Amino acid sequence: MSPQNPAVVILNPYSNRWKAKQRWPEAEAALRRAGVEFELFEMQGPGDGIRLAEQAARQGYIPIISAGGDGGTGEVLNGLFRASSEGVLGPLGVLPLGTANDLAHNIGLPLDLEAAAQAIAAGKTRRFDLGQANDWVFHNNSAVGLEPVVTQWNARMVRWKGLLRYLAAALRAIASGPRWEARLKWDDCEYAGPLSLTSVGNCPVTGGLFRMAPAADPQDGKLTFVYAYAPSRLKMLSLLPRAINGSYVNDPAVHQHHTTRLSIELNPGSPIQVDGELRSEDLTRVEYRVLPARLDILGAW
């Protein structure tokens, strides 16, 4: 990498089942037309986006542009955080080439590649909060319990496409009937007892379909989390369609809170997803906290 070049694009070719790789020429042409000069680096496997983003940030590239989906953008974000764990990160540009593109939907980034490239070229930023789960920072959502079990099923369902895959994975996860004993502690309260899911949102929508933390606002200096216990598969299944519009939080079995910190202890261990990517298959403790006003994102503000 040469510090003389003003921008770096980090491409996750696997995003949207390799469609990001197929669409890269379209995205490249849009950036060229917008007058954005850049070097391209392609992720070669899981974790590579972290390394590339950290290296680019340490060498002074501005901006760093994530081309892919939410998982790839999450890796880029963690690379920026490793390069500078204090102060504001970014500016970060986003070329939405993923399946759900949750970040773009949640904060109003352009989904059209021409418009996204023009927004990056314009250089206007808006500042957003970040979340942190143990050592991982996230822009959108993290969860333990049922939601990452859905992520596990989603990864297995290679024949399904797009958002239908998320819905089918949710049905399979519910059918498996997972349950945990948990202790949750947050700013002003705590809970101990059985648990089906805990979803922690910096933004409201995850999986392109579900408003898991419908009251979340990525500029309010808080994380919004939801925890619930459904004693039967039928009860959990009844909550699923209401999770799409967020009204499931009105059910007595579901609780939504705002906090700056959240600690969770689980028995047995649970998988954890961070921005849609599995980061552990068997976690017994996780510490969440908000990082207020820590990321500048380029957009058509």
- Residues 114-172 have pLDDT tens digits of 999 999 999 999 999 999 999 999 999 999 999 999 888 877 876 766 667 777 888 88
Say if residues 145 and 196 touch (Cβ distance below 8 Å).
yes
Query: Could you give the CA distance from residue 103 to residue 47 in angstroms, rounded to a whole number?
Result: 19
The residue among 246, 148, 253, 249 whose CA lies nearest residue 205 is 246
- Residue labelled with tokens 């949710």: 170
All structural domains of the chain, each given as residue ranges with its CATH number in brackets, are 8-123 (3.40.50.10330), 141-290 (2.60.200.40)
Calculated CA dihedral for residues 131, 235, 171, 217, nearest 10 degrees: -20
- Side-chain-side CA neighbours of 299 within 13 Å: the count stands at 17
Instruction: Assign 165 to helix, strand or coil.
Output: helix
Beta bridge partners of 225: 200, 257
Query: Could you give the CA distance from residue 217 to residue 290 in angstroms, rounded to a whole number?
Result: 12
Query: What confidence tens digit (pLDDT) does each residue in 68-124 have?
Result: 999 999 999 999 999 998 899 999 999 999 989 999 999 999 999 999 999 999 999
Query: pTM of the predicted model, to two decimals?
Result: 0.93
What pLDDT is recorded for position 3?
A: 42
Query: Could you give the CA distance from residue 131 to residue 140 in angstroms, rounded to a whole number?
Result: 8
Say if residues 239 and 216 touch (Cβ distance below 8 Å).
no
